[in-house]
Structures are given as C-alpha cells and as structure tokens.
Amino acid sequence: MEIKELIKAAKEASARSYSPYSKYRVGAALLTMDGKIYTGANIENAAFPAGMCAERVALFDAIKNGDNKFEALVIYAEGVNFPFPCGICRQVISEFTRDIKIIIARSEDEYVIKNISELLPDSFEFTI
C-alpha cells in the first residue's frame, strides 16, 4: 500500500473527529501486515482525561478484532506542526510492536517517517 493512500484514509478519519474543545481534528490509519486498515479519530470529552487519541482508537480496534501484527501507522492532522503522537500513545504503540513505521502527516505531500523506537527509546516494559 502506498503512503499517500494511508494518509488519505487517516485524513478521511479525521473528518469524524469529535473535538469541540480543541478543534484539533486528528485521524489515524493503521496498516496490518496482511493489508487490513483500521482507522481512528480523536474523541474529546469535557472531563479531559476521558478522551482518546486517534492512534489508540485505531490500534485498540485492531487488537479487539484479533490483529496484532502491524506494518505502518499514519497520524494525520492539518496545521502548522506535524501531529507527533503523545507520550501515552507512544507507550501503547510500543507495547505491540517495536518495528512499526510511523508516518506523521499534515498533508498528503508533507510527512515525516519515524520508527516507534526513535520516538520512544528505552520504553517501559513490564516483566514478571
């Protein structure tokens, strides 16, 4: 799958964002190793910690549906700055993969590509 197709899917998801407080509409598109795409949009709440970021919505949907092998994740939002994932999202992503390609886009032509290991070096790992 081409990067621009994934960015387009994330952009379409951002249109379904519920963001009445920040007005910052974020969409995500998660590509599995077998070619499925899961999308998500950020969902805000007046009790601010109760909201959810777009990338976690997409990731949790994939996990709920039994998919846990991921190739790429696009995070899309229009604006001056690139929509890098928050710290919580970085930790959640690293729980499921250390090899995923993260595409951070503010348009179909303006994006940067990182690996989750670059965005969250030395992530917390729980071992018993």
Token representation of residue 31:
């590509």
Query: How far, in Å, CA of 96 to CA of 108, rounded?
Result: 26
Residue 3, φ and ψ in degrees, nearest 5:
-55, -45
Q: What is the DSSP letter of 18?
A: B
Is residue 55 annotated as a catalytic residue, yes or no?
Answer: yes
- The arrangement of strands across the sheet holding 111-115 comes to 37-41, 27-32, 70-76, 101-105, 111-115
Query: How far, in Å, CA of 7 to CA of 75, rounded?
Result: 8
Query: How far, in Å, CA of 105 to CA of 113, rounded?
Result: 9
- Cα 58 from chain centroid (whole Å): 7
Active-site residue among 55, 95, 110, 118?
55
Residue positions annotated with a catalytic role: 55
